[in-house]
Structure 1
Amino acid sequence: MRWEGNRESDNVEDRRSGGGGGGGLGGRTIGIGTVVIALIGWGVFGINPLTTIGLLSGGGAPQVQQGPAQHPPQDDRQAAFVSTVLASTEDVWTQIFRQGGAQYQLPKLVLFRGTTPTACGMGQSAMGPFYCPGDRKVYLDMDFFDTMSRQLGAPGEFARAYVIAHEVGHHVQTLLGATGKVDAMRGRVSQREQNALSVRLELQADCYAGIWARHSQQAKNWLDQSDIESAINAAQQIGDDTLQRQQTGTVRPDAFTHGTSAQRVRWFSMGLKQGSVQACDTFSANSL
């Protein structure tokens, strides 16, 4: 992925040096084993951190005051990569919204270590990357990139870019109203039905990540075939069925919240091929 030299976003907030970070919550530390268990148990990319946060912390999150937002240091190459990918999503979605007669509202991306306060509760590294609709921010502990390579079998820079684009996809869903509609169903349908809605929301975010990949490639020509393959491999490695099979040896479709490996690959590929929001209507699709 030829990303160096491209515009970097100013909407990256660096909390890694303090102000809500740390290695645990309530006196507990978080090791790599906890991260992997959390990823397998609740999925890799959470659309609504409230449930996961409650399970991890045992209750509501404390109110923590943040200091002034800090930008990443200029010599941090990994932060520069994240900022460059975020800038590309800004460019792509601004153009798509403009074509639809709307204005795209830019999200913030927060870099943190360990824990950090969010409008959705106390975020933790063990949750993996996530988007909080309450403050319209993407949260990322970049140690997760090592987890992708070493634990999940999903290496590659474009695989990491796919992760960011997926979370930005959840921001797009918030702006377009899909997230609110799904959240409004909580408590009104069974857990199984709620899981099914969650799958459709997650697959749509995968499709939106594919849209970004297509449009960013048209604008920058910064990818080759191996990059696309690394993103498809990442989507495959974090399917619910693959993660369940690795952890327990069995697959429980009624517990799926993010979709199977095949479904995640299919919808990312759909966005990549079609490049339109209309093609990503997972909620109207008879078959996922």
Structure 2
Amino acid sequence: MRWRGRKESRNVEDRRGASGPALGGLGGRGGMLNLLPMVFKVLGFKGGLIAVLALGAYGLFSGNLGSMLGTGNIQTTNKQQTVQQNAAEKELVSFVSVVLADTEATWQGLFKEMGGNYKEPRLVLFRNAVQSACGLGQAATGPFYCPADQKVYIDLSFYDDLKRRFKAPGDFAQAYVLAHEVGHHVQTLLGISSKVHKAKSSLSKVQANQLSVRQELQADCFAGIWAHHADRSRQLLEQGDVDEALTAASAIGDDRLQKQAQGHVTPDSFTHGSSSQRVNWFKVGLSSGNIKACDTFSTNKL
């Protein structure tokens, strides 16, 4: 990705230097879990599956962004504590801030075309655990978006897991994760998340899971829309970037995660979609750049 030297977002809160929230009230943490109940936040899987799922859709991709003392654009919630970070982490903070700013440029333009205004989300960087308006979030569950406070949360160590555990290296793979979480924010602004949440209350568990899959796949499609405009309008992408995103999307498919975690696949429990579905819907957004193309709720074939 051609990201160095580009504009960084001002919507970053660095909570990495703050003391961790007291364990106690797990509320209902949102995130890619947006519509998913707290139980689904983690996708109901254990260990690595939880982290992965959080990463990808509602969970499988939620992010944390923190900025270093070195950047004037980052806001620190606890100014009395210095954030200890190495050079690599400092660069990563700059990276996520640039990616966030680029998503802002894309969605501001698209909302303007629709006659609306895009309310930018905030990106919260944390370590280990963080308190959100949706409850307690932990690094083990990956990046997440909370619709109650309209913030994306991420522990940057997740990117190490993405590279080593999920075998999805590359800066554009990391950008895809953040763009997916921002996609959930777009769903919140468009009223999609609230409609899904309401509909799920009257559905069986299997039906609710199926609705969650459609929501997650739409967030993947929205991530593809961002990639489309980042490339066409700002030439952000380099050769190989799309392949990195597709590798990440495939790595966090429900079928692959379940196979790794429990040795078999149970489609009725999918909440984010299969690897092929996630890859396909990212491609739909990437090729079209159009929100209407991302109607995962009306199609009979995911």
Q: TM-score range by the shorter chain?
A: 0.7 to 0.9
Alignment of 1:216-235 (within 5 A): 216-235=230-249
Q: Give the TM-score of the pair, scaled to structure 1.
A: 0.85
Distance 1:44 1:131 in 2: 10
The 8 Å contact of residues 15 and 69 in structure 1, kept in 2 or not, is answered as no
Task: Pick one of 124, 131, 135 that aligns with 1:110.
Answer: 124
Q: Deviations over 1:131-170 (max 9, x none)?
A: 0000000000000000000101111000000000000000
The 8 Å contact of residues 255 and 265 in structure 2, kept in 1 or not, is answered as yes
Q: Deviations over 1:9-54 (max 9, x none)?
A: 00010000114359xx46xxxxxxx7524235x55345389xxxxx
Task: Pick one of 262, 273, 277 that aligns with 2:276.
Answer: 262
Letter in 2 for 1:250: H
Letter in 2 for 1:39: A
Distance 2:56 2:144 in 1: 6
In percent, how many aligned pairs have the same letter? 51
The 8 Å contact of residues 56 and 252 in structure 2, kept in 1 or not, is answered as no
The runs of 5 or more residues in structure 2 that have no matched partner are 25-45, 61-76
Q: Is 1:81 aligned to 2:104, yes or no?
A: no
Q: Is 1:44 aligned to 2:58, yes or no?
A: no
Q: Match of 1:215?
A: 229
Letter in 2 for 1:47: Y
Distance 2:146 2:82 in 1: 20
CA RMSD in angstroms, aligned pairs only: 2.4
Distance 1:205 1:105 in 2: 17
Offset, 1:249: 1.8
Q: Match of 2:18?
A: 18
SS at match of 1:225: coil
The runs of 5 or more residues in structure 1 that have no matched partner are 27-33, 50-65
Task: Pick one of 168, 184, 188 that aligns with 1:154.
Answer: 168
Q: Is 1:173 aligned to 2:190, yes or no?
A: no
Q: Match of 2:220?
A: 206
Letter in 2 for 1:278: K
1:228 to 1:46, Cα distance in 2 relative to 1, 3 A? closer
Q: Give the TM-score of the pair, scaled to structure 2.
A: 0.81
Distance 1:148 1:82 in 2: 15
Distance 1:270 1:214 in 2: 10
1:71 to 1:3, Cα distance in 2 relative to 1, 3 A? farther
SS at match of 1:116: strand
Q: Match of 1:3?
A: 3
SS at match of 1:131: strand
Offset, 1:212: 0.1
SS at match of 1:44: helix
Q: Match of 2:65?
A: none
